[in-house]
Structures are given as structure tokens and as C-alpha cells.
Structure 1
């Protein structure tokens, strides 16, 4: 049973699925005001905008699984208002000569944050092609729509901090904003086969288990959030900052979109959640990642983070016996099973943890060697 609050906008409706909801009607006034301003821009003619949308009406309706219960005139008007609303926000946010303090949305930090997150919800999407078409028709300047989008979202979500160049490169292939985010998170293409063995378990060792085996943890510098590497005993993970309620909402929407609307072999979001849930299975696991700088969590405590991952993992499913981190999980498990790695980690933990401890061990070793030499010399003297 899906919790509708996790997929339902709280501030603004975009598209037909939550159109005319009573609790979102306050934003309709702002949409009309933005349309008036948009029509004052050079080369913007209302009839041209309406004609363009009307010509693409059937294609737009076909982008939604549900039958849209709106007549043609109401549907076209709704698309126009929502597209212009998004375009005006992108333009006003990104243009340096715009005075944000005079705008009741852009000048309100709380409202603009809420709108940004509403734009990611699966049931609050508009096809990007209609935004591109109206933007090109209006031709507000030389700046590209992908550039405006990257400027607006670059500080949206600290745990992801997605690369602007990556966002712009995926803009033309994305279906909508949520799909654009998903594409930016994907790991680089791999030539390895991710098909699982019949008895393979996707569960990775926990962070504490890896630590006891001597694994080191560090932040991975990568453009792709889902790109995780293990090499020479070091697990490199993406930087995760300010994980909280928005994180859960965002990943649940990504999960839902991936499960029901992506190709059958696409499962990167769910694979990432399954893998991360194996690593962080207890607050102590999260604490160790905080200590190593991988997690910078001011919003929740470590127990809240591990609880969030367990909740996300309940909805995660592998597809067609494939798992994107199959080789990584095998390498981590094999490393943990090695007796030598555990003995070495124990030695380092107990005898080489601090510089003074290291000096003491070396001094003891030297003393032992000198004692042995003295004993040998004594024996030789007797002979």
C-alpha cells in the first residue's frame, strides 16, 4: 500500500494529475500573474503558444498513464499556465538583472524550496519537450533551457549536488525533471555483465564488519552519485549531506518511477538503496561514516538515517535476477572473509593505532633483537 503523502505535492500542482486540488489553488493566482509577465516578453504571442500546445495535445495526453478528465480547452489552458509558471521561475532565478526581493515566490526562501521539491514528485511532472518547445518559441534570449535548469537546481539537494555539465548533457534525453535527476545519478556505463548467480545474495557486509576487516572509507570524487568503488582495501562512497525527510521523499519517487516507467533492465536506484542498506544496518555503521567524512548529517541522527534506509529498502526490488553492484558485493565479502585481512586489521588497531603505540612496538622489537644478539654473543663467548 503506497503512502500518498510521499508522492503528493504540497505547494503547487504541475500537470493534470493534481490539477484543481483545493489545497493547491492558492498557487493558481501566481500562475496567472506569471503568464501576464511572460506575455510581455519580446516575441511572445498568446495565440502562438496556444496553437503549439493544441497541436501537441494528443502527444501530451499520451505521456500520462491515466485518462485525463479535462476537455481540450481546459487541458490546453492548464498546460500553458504550468509551462509558463516553470519557465518564469527558471528565468527569474537565473537572470542576474532580476530583483528577487520584488517577487512573492522567488523572494520567499521557504516557498521556493517547497516548489523545488514539488517539481520532483512523480505525479507532478510535465514532459520536457513541451517546455523546450514553448521556450524556443518565446525565444527569451541566448541562454539555453538546460542552462537555466542547471542553475535553478544546482543547490537543490545537498546529498546529491549533481554536476551542472552532466545535467545539461542529459537534458535532451530526459522525459521530465524527475527522469533528469535519475539520469544524473546513474553510474558510468560498464562493460561488465551484472547478471547474478542463482545463489547470489545482494547483501553487502556492514560498515562495522568492513572496518573490522581493515577496510578504509573515503569520499569519492565523482560526477555520478551512484558510482561506488572498492580498490586496495578502500571503499570510496559519495559524499552524503543533510539527509532528512526530503531525502526519503525524493528516493521514494525515484524508486516508483524506475519500477513502473523505466526499461525492464533499469534498476539503478533500487540497487543503490539495497547496497546502501546492507552497509548501514545499524547507527554504529552511520557513525563510522560520519567519522570518516562520508556522511555530514546535521538534519538527522544516525539512528534516523539507518531507519530511513530500512524503510526505503522495504520497497526496493531486484529486476530479472540482476544487480548493479554484484561484483562490488563479492569483492567486499571476499575481503571480509580473508583471515589475513582480519589479523592485519587487529594488529593495526591494537598496536599501531597511534604514533606512540607504533614507536613502542618498534622499540620493543629492537630491544628483543638486541637481547637475542646479546644472548648469541654470550653463547659464543662460552664456546
Structure 2
């Protein structure tokens, strides 16, 4: 009998595969992938810098819910919910009902959610209730935090119903605690779908929330003076998606005769800023702060200003992870970071771009800025061959390969010409030698004519 049981179990996996095969529907599988927009960062990415993907102050959504390190904020979440309910006069049941209408869509936004914890399993009534509770509590908390930050800048508090010494929602809390919440909001594993916020705002205002209003509310909180997304762009997927799109507004400035599909090679990787400068390239701050506003034209490399602070690398890494995991997003941020990693090889490169206003260093040394970009580019980084920024690599390098610019760069690298005084002396001596040569020629010609 034992042998028969063993033989039966030997084929169980085949029966399971065949059962799934009969149930398979390609269209359902495709639609399932498109629903996902919030991901667990895989170990192959996370292990390079684990802290960059782990929230430090608050859990938003299910992936870090219950983390003991973040538990202190749970009390403030419940308190924020009570304040919102008291101020709006709307019953909690209305908010819960509105979120429940889109619970399946919210659940589907998180890829691999059921595998993370059985408590979030949408098919279980208890699990579904816990997921609904978490969405309402986290969503209302986030709305209150964003309002507190906006109101505190004007000396007020949200609705005037928070104490002036409130640890989170006072001016003190906005100054000392909210920056950590803001950073956590830009971590890929710590996202809330903006559909959730739209539903909560709809109940609160008793009218449908406008997509543009939701996008701008989130963006104003994440960035002090962001370029607002164009009207009609549609509701963002989550805060990280909206913030990323705000950095990529407008098209690339691509010359008409540029071919995007040429394969990259070692010659296509742009040279460090100091090498470009020695070859006669001038650097100029672009008119906008869009990462698309990078161009090389007539020896001038225009680049957007970038403020570098303690949160920069973390934010860039999470946007790059999102590009890597979410099909159809493109990899424009990854291409930009790859570009900057190559152009900022040393502290001297950073100092050069700092002097033109392209780099605004808020983390200290120039070495730290260069190291920040080096640490953000994994060894297996992939740039899509049609990315327009590769054309800038090629055009800048083509400029440096022209004979005059090669000669100029070799002269600039000579130790003798490193100081301005040496250059002036060289030019003056060259002029004197040239005058002597010209005078000699005239003397010889006059002698033969005489």
C-alpha cells in the first residue's frame, strides 16, 4: 500500500501542471501582469544596498506592514484617521465601502502579495477585511501628512484640530519627522496606489476626485517646486510613479540626423567632464530641470540642474528598480544615472559641473557626489538601445575625436600648461616666434628683389 501511495504522489506534480494548463487563458495572464505596479525588489538588486529599499519611519501598504521597527507610527496612523473622520463628519463606513469597491484592483497592484503573507489573501474573508482596514488607515494617514506639510508652511495646522506640539502634524513634526516619511514614500516596496487616495478624497468631498488634483497634491508634497504634470495625463500609479514622471517632462532634444538604434560600444560611453572640458566642450545649465533636457550642440553640453542631498541615491535607486520591474515604463532615469556616473568620475569632474550650476552639492564633499553615482549603477545596468540619451554620448565623443580637439586636449593635459600664467606665456612666446619668422621672410624677399 505504501508503494502504491508513493507511486501516486510521484505523478501528482504532473496532474497539477496539466490542470493549470487546461485552465490557462493567455488574455487573463496578460491582464494580470498589467495590473501590477508595486513590487518586491528582488535580492539581485536589493543586496547591493539593502537600506535604500527599506522604510525607516512608516510602512505604507502591505509589504512592510507589521515591521517592529515601524510599529511606533501605527498609533499616529489611527490618530490621523480619527482626526479626519471628526473634521469631515463622514462615517468610517463610507470610506471603507468606497475602498472596498476597488479592493480587487488595489490588491492586484501588489505583485506577489499572497506569497508575502497569507493574511492578505484576497479570497479569505478575514484576509480581505485586514487588507481593507490597512488601505483605509494608511491612505487617510497619508492624506493628513500631506495636508500638514502644506499647512505648516503657512504657519497653520490641518483644519486647526492638531495640537501645536503634536509630534507629527505640527510645524515641529513637519520639520523633523515628515522628511523621513517623505523619503519612505519614494520607496518602491512602500507605495500606495493613487486610486486609493482618489477614492478617499471622493468620499471626503462628496464628489469625484479629479485625477490631476490627486497627482498635484502628491507631487507638491514630494517636491517643493515641482514641474506640475500636464492636465489630462491620467491618474498616476503611485507616488513614486508621479515623482518619476515629473522628472521626465517634455521630449528629448534629439537631432534629426541621429540614429537611435546603433548598438552601444565602448566608444559610445561619454568621457569624464574634465576630459570633455580639455577638448573644448563648454557646459551649460539647461532651461528646465527635466532629465530629458540634455543635449550636445556645437561644442556645448546642456544639462539640467540636479540638487544632490542625502536622499538622492535612495530615490534614484528606487526609480531605477521600478523601471527594471515594470514593463513599458522605459529606463530614462537609469540612462541618466549611467550618463552621470560616466561624466562624474572624480571630484574634479563634480567641481567643474558645480561651478556651472549643474550640480548643487548639499551632501558635502565632491568625492561623495561622485561616489553617490558610482554606487547607484549596478554592473549589469542595461540601457535600451533606442534611448535618445545615447545620441548625446556619441555626439560628445565625436567632437572629442576631431583632430583639432585631440591636439587641444593633449596640450591641456601637459603639465606645463596647467596654470593660466603658463598658457599666457606660451601664447606670447608663440606670437614672438611668429613675428620673427614673418620678419625673416620679408627680409629674404627684399634682399632678392634688391
TM-score, length of structure 2 as denominator length: 0.73
Q: Spell out the pairing of 1:248-263 with structure 2 (5 A cutoff).
A: 248-263=313-328
For residues 367 and 267 of structure 1, what CA distance do their matches in structure 2 show? 54
Which aligned pairs between 1:52-63 and structure 2 lie closer than 5 A? 52-63=98-109
* Aligned equivalent of 2:275, options 190, 206, 209: 209
Q: Does 1:150 align with 2:219?
A: yes
- The two structures, once aligned, show a CA RMSD in angstroms of 3.5
How far is 1:373 from its partner?
A: 10
1:180 aligns with 2:229: no
Note the residue ranges of structure 1 that are not aligned, 5 or more in a row: 156-160
1:10 matched to 2:56? The reply is: yes
In structure 2, the partner of 1:276 is: 340
> What's the offset of the Cα at 1:77?
0.9
How far apart, in 2, do the equivalents of 1:310 and 1:378 lie?
Answer: 63
The CA deviation at 1:329 is 0.9
Contact 2:103 2:132 in 1 (8 A): yes
1:197-346 paired onto structure 2 within 5 Å: 197=263, 199=265, 202-244=268-310, 246-263=311-328, 266-314=330-378, 317-319=381-383, 321-344=385-408
Larger Rg computed on CA atoms: 2
Deviation at 1:42, TM superposition (A): 3.4
Supply the distance in 1 between the matched residues of 2:232 and 2:382 (Cα, whole angstroms): 25
Q: Which residue of 2 aligns with 1:81?
A: 137
How far apart are the structure 2 equivalents of 1:283 and 1:352?
19
Contact preservation (8 Å) 2:278, 2:408: no
Instruction: Name stretches of at least 5 consecutive residues in structure 2 with no aligned partner.
Output: 1-43, 121-126, 159-163
> 1:163-178 counterparts in 2 under 5 A?
163=227, 165-166=228-229, 169=231, 172-178=234-240
1:250 Cα shift? 1.0
Task: Tell me the SS of whatever aligns to 1:230.
Answer: strand
Give the Cα separation in 2 of the matches to 1:145 and 1:171.
Answer: 12
Tell me: CA distance 1:351–1:119, structure 2 relative to 1, closer, same or farther (3 Å): closer
- Deviation per CA, 1:176-220, whole angstroms, max 9, x where unpaired? 011111111226335765323375754111112111101111221
Q: CA deviation at 1:11?
A: 0.4
1:312-341 CA-partner distances (Å, limit 9, x unpaired): 222552255444322111111111111212
1:129 matched to 2:195: yes
In the alignment, is the contact (CA less than 8 A) between 1:128 and 1:176 conserved in 2?
A: yes
For 1:323 and 1:279, locate their aligned partners in 2 and report how far apart those are by CA, in whole Å.
17
CA positional deviation for 1:130: 1.3
Cα distance in 2, alignment partners of residues 25 and 227 from structure 1: 42
Q: 2:84 aligned with 1:38, yes or no? A: yes
Tell me how far apart the structure 2 counterparts of residues 63 and 237 of structure 1 sit (CA, whole Å): 35
| Conserved 8 A contact 1:7-1:121 | yes
Q: Counterparts of 1:7 and 1:229 in 2: how far apart (Å)?
A: 32
CA distance in structure 2 between the partners assigned to 1:251 and 1:49 by the alignment: 34
- 1:26 pairs with 56, 72, 77, which one? 72
TM-score if structure 1 supplies the norm length? 0.84
Structure 1 range deviating more: 372-381 or 198-207: 372-381
- In the aligned structure 2, how far is the partner of 1:332 from the partner of 1:367? 33
> CA, structure 1 residues 344+81, in 2 after alignment: closer, same or farther (shift >3 Å)?
same
Counterpart for residue 158 of structure 1:
none
Distance 1:250 1:307 in 2: 15
Contact 2:149 2:178 in 1 (8 A): no
